[in-house]
Amino acid sequence: MKNGQKAVKQRRTRFVKEYLIDQNATRAAIAAGYSEKTAKAQGSRLLTDVDLQAEIEAANNKVNAKLDLTIERVKQEIARLAFYDPAAFWNENGTAKPIHEIPEDARRAIAGFETAELFEGNGEDRGLAGYVKKFKLADKTRAIELAARHLKMLTDKVEVTGAEALVARLQAARARL
């Protein structure tokens, strides 16, 4: 392999590795050594290369397998976040349950957790009076929206303009034939 071909292969390999970081073709092209001026076009061109597409897909599949990241697990997690029951965090007397007593599906909806100790008295008479526990929970609305989009219950309205001019041009072209 000649030096020029070797350099191109190295750039392409680097592009794939960089693209996998954030799926940004322009940034990946710059990191792979293409000029900033042409990076957008180069990145776009590289993404149309069938061999590079296969490399990117194989690398993504390898990472997904390592992380056990599957479509089923993502759907399951969206469902957990969309349908958790807030009552799962509380005892019947209104106190917060210890974290280990909260069911796993509900625990997965916890986005943050804070505990503060409360004391009574001063000096040697100071004693623990109790705890304040705060749960920050996942956004159910967003999770339900993701689930609804997956089920195609929500669609974004796409407005196409300029179709009349295109139709007129096509009719004029047909008339000329």
CA distances from 30 to 12, 16, 18, 77, 123 (A): 11, 12, 9, 36, 63
- The pLDDT, as a whole number, for residue 69 is 86
Structure tokens given for 59: 């690398």
Coil vs helix vs strand at 108: coil
Beta bridge partners, 116, equal 132
140 touches 81 (CB < 8 A):
yes
| Phi, psi of 96, deg, nearest 5 | -70, 140
In the chain, the domains with their CATH numbers are 3-67 (1.10.10.1400), 83-147 (no CATH)
Does the predicted model carry a pTM greater than 0.85? no
**Average pLDDT of 10-37?**
92
Structure tokens given for 38: 């042409």
Distance CA 39, CA 73 (A): 36
Q: Which helix (H) or strand (E) holds 128?
A: strand 127-137
pLDDT above 80 (res 75): yes
What number of other Cβ atoms are within 10 A of residue 68's Cβ?
7
16 touches 59 (CB < 8 A):
yes
DSSP calls for 14-76: HHHHHHHHH--HHHHHHHTT--TTTHHHHHHHHHT-HHHHHHHHHHHHHHHHHHT--HHHHHH
Dump pLDDT digits (tens) for 133-174.
888 999 999 999 988 888 888 877 766 677 777 788 888 888
